[in-house]
Amino acid sequence: MPHIHPKTTPIYQTSVFAFDDLNALEQYFEQPGQSYMYTRYGNPNTDELAQEVNKLEKGAGAVVTSSGMSAILAAVLAVCKAGDHVLCAEEIYGGSSSLLSQEMTRIGVDVTFVPTADTYTLGSYVRPNTRLLLAETVSNPLLQVLDVARLAQETKRQGIKLVIDNTFATPVLTRPLELGADTVIHSVTKYLSGHSDVTAGVVVCKEQEDLQRVQRVMMVYGLNLSPFEGWLAARGLKTLRLRMRQHCSNALEIAEYLERHPKVEKVWYPGLEEHPQHELAKRQGQGMFGGMLSFRIKDETEAVNRFMQALPSIPFAPSLAGVNTSVSYPLGTSHRALSTEQQEKMGITVGVIRFSVGIEEPEELIAELETALAAV
């Protein structure tokens, strides 16, 4: 058979790889990374995805996982054991909050949520057994922008690791490891893959020691990604820069339109000058502000229903970051598990709608919004 050089990596849809003999088996263990044995341990497709994301984030290496949630789990378990304590930003994805407060506490890891006002002054929250702080570059759903460099200085001063969920920003806008974070996680499901057809996660580490621990957790807990999902995500990743530019320019145009609309009470988007972290977002995001925004119409469930039902083609789909625009409802989906008090404290009220801006023509999206807002 002639030697072939495919331009695109083939799909290695296999659970196991064969060895020629015992010498080949020994070589596998003596020279890690030179060959493959079992797809839970590694596969060319998932390795390609990990390497490409690592290049973008400029880390020591990356590990891909079965979902964004398993990426968060792997990042936490890599450094925490029973009896340890973790800190978490108060304004964070509901799934992250549930994982820490409901599941990690069951296995003996204590959790404290840090109020937004105290983000950069952690002294009163850090204990001798505190291991890390988990936070997001841009928060979900109210788009608060984190000063990663400032927070990294504080976590270093306190002797704890900084784990940043960079899903909303992507490395096209912000590279947290360069700003001092220790670990970066993504739900690859979102912008990195970009087409709403993959469920995957990734953990990128600054230090080799942390990377080895994440790799070990992924293998032993079985958090691995399938070859086909790895292939599909690597394929989507190739257009990330192009997609992000269009997501960002569309989102800014739509945020400005919504801001002027009489039926919209508030808009959350870092690209608007009145956003409290606008200058930080501009500096930290290379002049781009992301493809996510949220806005509030009147706080009535029926008004929200009328708005969603009147959208001609934009779906109500509780995820984000696909090439097609979608709307989501934080109170009923991502932040459903929070108490009413927590929801109110964060400002997530009945009328808040999250808008994941796609890469369509902005005029088409604005026309759809005009139709839907007329029904409110």
Whole domain around residue 275: which residue ranges? 241-374
Does residue 114 belong to any structural domain of this protein? yes
> Final residue of a domain: which of 172, 207, 237?
237
Same domain, 233 and 246: no
Alpha-carbon distance 309 to 64, whole Å? 37
Instruction: Tell me phi and psi for residue 305, to 5 degrees.
Output: -60, -45
User: What stretch of H or E contains 132?
Assistant: strand 130-136
- CATH at residue 347: 3.90.1150.10
Q: Would you give per-residue pLDDT tens digits along the chain (376 residues)?
A: 567 788 899 999 999 999 999 998 998 898 887 889 999 999 999 999 999 999 999 999 999 999 999 999 999 999 999 999 999 999 888 889 999 999 999 999 999 999 999 999 999 999 999 999 999 999 988 999 999 999 999 999 999 999 999 999 999 999 999 999 999 999 999 999 999 999 999 999 999 999 999 999 999 999 999 999 999 999 999 999 999 999 999 999 999 999 999 999 999 999 999 999 999 999 999 999 999 999 999 888 999 999 999 999 999 998 899 999 999 998 766 666 667 777 777 778 889 999 999 999 999 999 999 999 999 8
**Pair (108, 224) in one structural domain:** yes
108 and 48 both lie in a single domain: yes
Q: Are residues 266 and 353 in the same domain?
A: yes
Domain check: are 185 and 269 in the same one?
A: no
* Predicted structure pTM score: 0.94
Looking at 181, 204, 237, which one is the last position of a domain? Answer: 237
Residue type, 368: E
Question: Would residue 29 count as lying in a domain?
Answer: yes
For 75, 191, 227, 283, the CA distances from 204, given in Å and listed in that order, are 9, 16, 19, 23
Q: Report strand pairing: 201-205 vs 183-187.
A: antiparallel
Pairing of strands 161-165, 183-187: parallel
Calpha distance 229→126 (Å, rounded): 39
Distance CA 100, CA 93 (A): 11
Contact status, residue 248 vs residue 169, Cβ threshold 8 Å: no
Q: Which residues are known to be catalytic?
A: 40, 93, 165, 190
Neighbour order of strands in the sheet with 85-89: 61-65, 201-205, 183-187, 161-165, 130-136, 85-89, 110-114
Q: Is 164 in the same domain as 33?
A: yes
The structure tokens listed for 57 are 């984030």
Residues 216 and 330 in one domain: no
Determine contact, residues 336/301, Cβ cutoff 8 Å: no
